[in-house]
């Protein structure tokens, strides 16, 4: 049985402040919990509905409908990774939506991205919505929060920096390198002016709307990331 104190504490991990103070975060779902146990994350506690009861699980769950399993994990304090000039990386410039970041982690995992640089104002990777949207990719994807301008300015001397813009060459007609850093901008403002000045290769994802149709104004940043990563991998085969 869970005490009232246990229930209150576990549910409090929905708050960023508490996650930062404790260094803990929550994972929910049988598959996610199983992946967490097999990962190199340290597991603090695992709880199953058939052991604690549906009422208790409902009170600690952060989901609208509680899942059969929940785990409390320790965050990784060291998030830096070894950069290789031959690798392909993402750089996220002020991505604020948790669902988008979680999906981008999943995309990076699928396309074998070697690491992700995230600006310091990008949404926290241990946000519950990010964790759930990642569908387990959080356990296999390296994310480093950093001063994005400084690190990209340093790395551009050795690798190409790609960025998506509305006024740029068609990505489907461009020759893309096997290595480099792909910069993706915020949902509302795109890549910031400061970071834009560092980009060495601009590309554009063209629309194929039917003639006479207004079409969509833009793509969701996660969808755009998937298209760009796919094209890089296709072009480098």
Q: What is the pLDDT of residue 236?
A: 65
- For the chain, list the domains and their CATH numbers: 4-74 (3.30.1330.30), 88-235 (3.40.1280.10)
Q: Which residue, 114, 235, 110, is CA-closest to 177?
A: 235
Determine what percent of the chain is predicted with pLDDT higher than 90: 82
- Please give the sequence-ordered ranges of beta strands (E in DSSP) within 170-210, or none if there are none: 180-184, 201-203
Question: Is the pLDDT at 51 greater than 60, yes or no?
Answer: yes
Q: What is the mean pLDDT of the chain?
A: 93
Determine what percent of the chain is predicted with pLDDT higher than 70: 96
Q: How do residues 150-177 score in pLDDT, each as one tens digit? A: 999 999 999 999 999 988 999 999 889 9
Q: How far is CA 24 from CA 137, 150, 159, 232, in A?
A: 18, 29, 35, 35
Give the separation between CA 111 and CA 89, rounded to whole angstroms. 11
pTM of the model: 0.93
Q: Which residue, 25, 233, 47, is CA-closest to 138?
A: 25
pLDDT band at 208 (very low <50, low <70, confident <90, very high): confident
Q: What is the pLDDT of residue 43?
A: 97
Q: What is the pLDDT of residue 134?
A: 97
- Of residues 80 and 58, which shows the higher confidence score? 58
Q: What is the pLDDT of residue 213?
A: 60
The total of other beta-carbon atoms located within 10 Å of residue 49's CB is 18
Q: How do residues 74-101 score in pLDDT, each as one tens digit? A: 999 877 888 999 999 999 999 999 999 9
pLDDT band at 136 (very low <50, low <70, confident <90, very high): very high
Q: What is the pLDDT of residue 189?
A: 86
């Amino acid at each position: 049985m869970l005490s009232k104190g246990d229930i209150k504490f576990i549910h409090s991990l929905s708050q960023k402040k508490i996650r930062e103070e404790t260094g803990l975060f929550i994972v929910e779902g049988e598959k996610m919990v199983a992946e967490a146990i097999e990962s190199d994350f340290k597991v603090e506690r695992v709880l199953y509905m058939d052991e604690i009861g549906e009422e208790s699980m409902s009170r600690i769950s952060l989901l609208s409908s509680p899942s059969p399993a929940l785990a409390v994990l320790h965050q990784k304090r060291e998030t830096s990774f070894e950069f290789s000039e031959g690798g392909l990386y993402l750089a996220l410039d002020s991505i604020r939506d948790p669902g988008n970041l979680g999906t981008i982690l999943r995309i990076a995992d699928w396309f074998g991205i070697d690491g992700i640089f995230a600006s310091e104002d990008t949404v926290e990777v241990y946000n519950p919505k990010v964790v759930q949207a990642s569908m387990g990719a959080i356990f296999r994807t390296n994310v480093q929060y950093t001063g994005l301008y400084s690190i990209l300015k340093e790395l551009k001397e050795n690798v190409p920096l790609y960025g998506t813009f509305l006024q740029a060459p068609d990505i489907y007609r461009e020759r893309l390198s096997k290595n480099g850093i792909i910069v993706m901008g915020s949902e509302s403002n795109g890549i910031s002016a400061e970071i834009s000045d560092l980009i060495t290769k601009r590309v554009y994802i063209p629309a194929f709307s039917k003639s006479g149709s207004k079409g969509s104004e833009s793509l969701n940043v996660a969808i755009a990331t998937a298209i760009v990563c796919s094209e890089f991998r296709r072009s480098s085969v």
